[in-house]
Structure 1
Amino acid sequence: MHQEPLRTGGQPVATATKGLIMLHGRGGSAADILSLAAHLHLPGFALLAPQATQNTWYPNSFLAPVAQNEPWLTDALAAVGRTVAHAQAAGITADNLYFLGFSQGACLTLEYVARHATRYGGVVAFTGGLIGDQLRPEGYQGDFAGTPVFIGTSDPDFHVPVERVRASTALLTALGAHVTEKVYPNMGHTITQEELNLANSLVFGR
């Protein structure tokens, strides 16, 4: 699973000063999520977008018991880990490594960074939350050391309940992240220009 070639954009990873790992949503693609870069302030960034097999990282809702999404979830997290290793092998340190995801990709983004909390450059989650039927704080470790995190979502959202977004914000904050959470009434399951502007100012503009 999830052994598709890594899609890239921006600066070549060998010469980039920063790296952004971009995770697409269910039914989307690496090419789709890479297209967001045109709306983001990413000078000197290498863009790295793994592709999920059959365009989905795991088969069921992110709110399902974790066992129901295995072994796909573990393999999806491993795909992110391989992308991180690729960036770090090229000399991009964790504090210059950024993450961005939408929907299922946002859930995967938050789950990965919470399991490997350290000082990253920043994290952007467009409509997502930590994964599982309930959150288990003992499964997350490390210290974000003030890493800026932006989470934007709609209330309501058919796929991502706002309660899970808020619980995820609380857990990430407890791990030392500096989280900005924005809940938009009836925004729909999408990414808005305001969210892109906030991602630029709060995360990529730092």
Structure 2
Amino acid sequence: MTHHFALNTAGKALNNAEKALIMVHGRGGNAEDILGLATHLNVGSYAILAPQATNHTWYPHSFIAPIEQNEPWLTSAIDIVDQSVKTATDAGITPKNIYFFGFSQGACLTLEYIARNAQQYGGAVAIIGGIIGEKINRRNYQGDFQQTPIFIGTSNPDFHVPIERVYATEKILNEMNADVTLKVYENFGHAINQEEIEWANKIF
């Protein structure tokens, strides 16, 4: 099974906006849920795009399962994010004015997408996530973020996302010339906290 491209939008119309925010929901969530979060973000002048996963999940297994177990869903999910980016660039929004926000499974997908497609973006916020795969295939991650600001927030421990993978993700993004801020919240739980929203708003 693969995803069909279903995009929910909020905020400014694409052709009237100078900036776009792509919001990627978590497993069991949906585009409307994550768009609701945008009311807490400094994105009043942005076009906001939230792709919807088929059956509310981007890929079936853990993000640290062997990649082939998550195919073809994973490749399809990455393509959906790419189509969301193309929707913005087709409307004349440059990559450096494109921003990302992902939570949980959506944070993993966001980090995987930008690491595979590194360039200067406006910025990215990933709450509880890391790059995808049982083992990290460093060859997948080339390119130069040109100091794109990336905020990663996570809880330690987190049932879904081991802290070691978060640190490994931070290291790779830094090696690719991203400006990474990582905040680890002890025993916070699998959720988004107010401080993370404040960090996000320093990027947006």
Matched residue, 1:16: 17
Matched residue, 1:67: 68
Matched residue, 2:108: 107
Q: How does 1:51-130 map to 2 (within 5 A)?
A: 51-130=52-131
Q: CA offsets per residue over residues 152-203 of structure 1, 9 Å max, x none?
A: 00000000011100000000010110000000000000000111011112x1
Q: Aligned residues, how many?
A: 203
Q: Aligned with 1:80: secondary structure?
A: helix
Matched residue, 1:45: 46
Partners of 1:2 and 1:17 in 2: how far apart? 28
Matched residue, 1:137: 138
Specify the code of the residue in structure 1 equivalent to 2:75: T
Partners of 1:149 and 1:11 in 2: how far apart? 23
Relative to the length of structure 2, the TM-score reads 0.98
Matched residue, 1:36: 37
Q: Aligned with 1:60: secondary structure?
A: coil
Specify the code of the residue in structure 1 equivalent to 2:170: T
Matched residue, 2:156: 155
- Superposition deviation, residue 4 in structure 1: 4.6
Partners of 1:178 and 1:98 in 2: how far apart? 14
Specify the code of the residue in structure 2 equivalent to 1:62: F
Partners of 1:31 and 1:43 in 2: how far apart? 17
Matched residue, 1:169: 170
Q: Aligned with 1:118: secondary structure?
A: coil
Partners of 1:92 and 1:141 in 2: how far apart? 23
Relative to the length of structure 1, the TM-score reads 0.97
Q: Aligned with 2:146: secondary structure?
A: coil
Partners of 1:187 and 1:166 in 2: how far apart? 17
Partners of 1:119 and 1:102 in 2: how far apart? 21
Q: Which runs of 5+ in 2 are unaligned?
A: none
Specify the code of the residue in structure 1 equivalent to 2:162: P
Is 1:3 equivalent to 2:23 in the alignment? no
Q: Aligned with 1:14: secondary structure?
A: helix
Partners of 1:61 and 1:85 in 2: how far apart? 27
Q: How does 1:180-195 map to 2 (within 5 A)?
A: 180-195=181-196
Partners of 1:2 and 1:24 in 2: how far apart? 14
Q: CA offsets per residue over residues 22-75 of structure 1, 9 Å max, x none?
A: 000000000001011010001310000000000000000000010010000000
Partners of 2:106 and 2:40 in 1: how far apart? 18
Q: Which runs of 5+ in 1 are unaligned?
A: none
Q: Aligned with 2:121: secondary structure?
A: coil
Partners of 1:85 and 1:190 in 2: how far apart? 29
Matched residue, 2:198: 197
Is 1:27 equivalent to 2:31 in the alignment? no
Q: Aligned with 1:113: secondary structure?
A: helix
